[in-house]
Every structure is written in C-alpha cells, then in structure tokens.
A and B are shown apart, each in its own frame.
Chain A
Amino acid sequence: MNTIKTLLDMGGYGIYVWPAYILVAGILGLQWFLPWKHWENIRKTPKPSMDCFVAKSTPRNDSDDE
C-alpha cells in the first residue's frame, strides 16, 4: 500500500506525471483503435457481387459476322 502511494505521489510530482502518461496512453490508444475498428468493418462487409455486370453483357451473335 505504501509502495503504491509512493509511486502515485512521485515525490510531489505525481499530479503532473500521471496526467501526462494517461493523456498519451488514452489518445494513442484511441488513435490505434479507430483505424483498427474501421479495418474490421471493411473486412466484415461482403464484397459486391459481379452478377450485375454478367447480366448486362450481350451474348455474341455469330450470324451477324457473316
């Protein structure tokens, strides 16, 4: 308990040291989480089907060539 108190107090500088570490950890954690979450959403989204392009194509009529 005393060790934790000493660590948190930091010789009177704890009020400056810990907010600095928490700020950096919080913002960098969020900054990593957002693109990771975005990438996970992209991976989970099904790819659009190519059937629409197939349906639009016209079959070749060989009789026209002659």
Chain B
Amino acid sequence: MAAFLSGIIQDKILHLHAHVDNPMFKKIFVQIQAFLTRVISPPYFFAFAEKCMPWLILGLILTLGYGLIGALYLAPADYLQGEGFRILYVHVPCAFLSLLIYSLMAVAATLGLVWRLKLAFAVMHQSAMLGAIFTFLALMTGSLWGKPMWGTFWIWDARLTSELILLFLYLGVIALHSALPNRRLADQATAVLVLLGFVDIPIIHYSVNWWNTLHQGSTIRLLAPSLITPSMLYPLLAMTAAFCCYFAITLILRLRCDLNTEVKV
C-alpha cells in the first residue's frame, strides 16, 4: 500500500516538475522557489521566531487575561441561554482554530509538494497534533454546551458530524505519517491526504447554511454587522487571539524539537 501510494505521489511530482519547460513559467517557478527557500528556511525562520516569541507570550498574557475576565465576569448573561453561554468563549476559539490549522496545513502541504520545502512539511506534520487537540476540545466543549441548551450531548447534526470527520482526518494524518518509515515518503503521502481532506473545511463552514441544522448559524461576520453585542464580542475576539498566540508559541516549540532532533539523528 505504501509502495503504491509512493509510486502515485512520485509520478504526480515528476509530472508537475516536467511541465516546468516553458522558459517564462520556469523563471517564475525558480524565482518563487529561491524566495521561499530563503525565507522559509529553518535558520531564517527560527531567527524570526526567536524575535517574535516574547511578543507572542506578551500577547497571550494580555489577551487571555482580558478574555477570561470578560468571559467570566464582564460579559452579561445571555437573555435566552443564561450563564451557560459562557462556554462559547472556549468553544468558538477551539472550533475556529480547528479550521484555521487545517487550512494552514493545506497551504504547507502545497508548498512542500510543489517547492519541496522541508520546513513546510514540518509545519504540516507538527500542526496536525495541535489541530486534532483543538478539534477534540471544540467537540467536547460543544457537547457540554449542547446538554443544557439542546438536551443532549451529541446529535448527528451536519456541523457536528463534519467537525467529527475533521477530527478523524487529523488522526488519519498523524497515523499515516507515523506508519511510513521513510520521512520523505511520509511527508509527501501526508501532504496528499491533507489536500484531499481540505474539501471538509468549506463543508464545515457552510453546513449551517446548506442544511437545516440544530447548530446555530454564524454570529460573527466579516462583511456584515455581527449578531452579538460588543460587550460579549470583544472578550470573544480576545480569547480567539489568545488561542492563536498559544498555537503559534506551541508550534514554534514543536518545530524546534522536531528539526533539532532530526539534525542530531
């Protein structure tokens, strides 16, 4: 199975590179590759990450502090859901990050497959565990919110089911990467799986519009006024920013361990 998958992936990669015969296309391709190799190289990245780390930690402390105070004290109780709505201050950031991390993994998978960037594969691989954890937490906190609001911990609703599929995708990515002994083959096979699974992301996002779901529709909108009062919205945005900072810090730590271990081996 691994050999079969390897053959398909190698064929596709060679096919892609064989098409870079057009001089203009080749020039653009090489320039992008040179830029990415320079910017997304481990030394450049870790030097940049080292400078960013104190700011990320400061951002995490400030946003988490304000977010927690706002979520548990400042935000007024919801007129319909009462104090139970405060679960959303941890549920929404987890759900948001579960989608964001998979999208980041898809971008990293594309960069890794097309330009063969080692760091892109490392980002994809190390983000998978974090994404799985955020998806698991989104499902668990959603269940704890669903029991008092819907009367059940779980229902086969379109949003919940597609989110559960996302968790299985993350676990599949982790399992596939661990199963293949060759690191290069594991990276490429995982990248293909990530790109195939990306179809689930728009399904999760638009599931509340496409189907008549029990899960509520979008409350925060980018292109239209949000359906949530500012006193509730700002702590939610702060908690989301705090979770993003946390993800960035943990990802950098994991990447440092991963690449350092690899160098020593």
Contact = CB atoms under 8 A, between A and B. Distances in A.
Contacts of A7: 72
Interface in B236-265: 246, 249-250, 253-254, 256-257, 260-261, 264
B253 A32 contact: yes
A47 B86 CA distance: 49
Interface in B5-52: none
Interface stretch (B111-119, B143-151, B187-195, B215-223): B143-151
Q: Determine the main DSSP class of A at the interface with B.
A: helix
A35 interface: yes
A24 B148 contact: no
Contacts of B84: 10-11, 13, 16-17
Contacts of B72: 7
Interface residues of A, number: 23
Interface in A24-56: 24, 27-28, 31-32, 35-36, 38-39, 42, 48
A28 B264 CA distance: 28
B87 interface: yes
B133 interface: yes
A1 interface: no
Contacts of B201: none
Contact of B257 (A31, A38, A48): A38
Contacts, number: 72
A35 B144 contact: no
A24 B147 CA distance: 18
A63 B129 CA distance: 60
A20 B145 contact: yes
Contacts of B260: 39, 42
A7 B82 CA distance: 13
B177 interface: no
B140 A11 contact: no
A4 interface: no
Contacts of B180: none
Interface string B79-92: 00011101100110
A11 B140 CA distance: 21
Contact of B141 (A10, A23, A36, A38): A23
Contacts of A14: 83
Contacts of A28: 133, 137, 246
B133 A17 contact: no
A20 B144 CA distance: 7
A16 B253 contact: no
Question: Which 7 A-B residue pairings sit nearest by Cβ, starting from the closest?
Answer: A13-B84, A11-B83, A10-B83, A35-B253, A20-B141, A24-B90, A20-B144
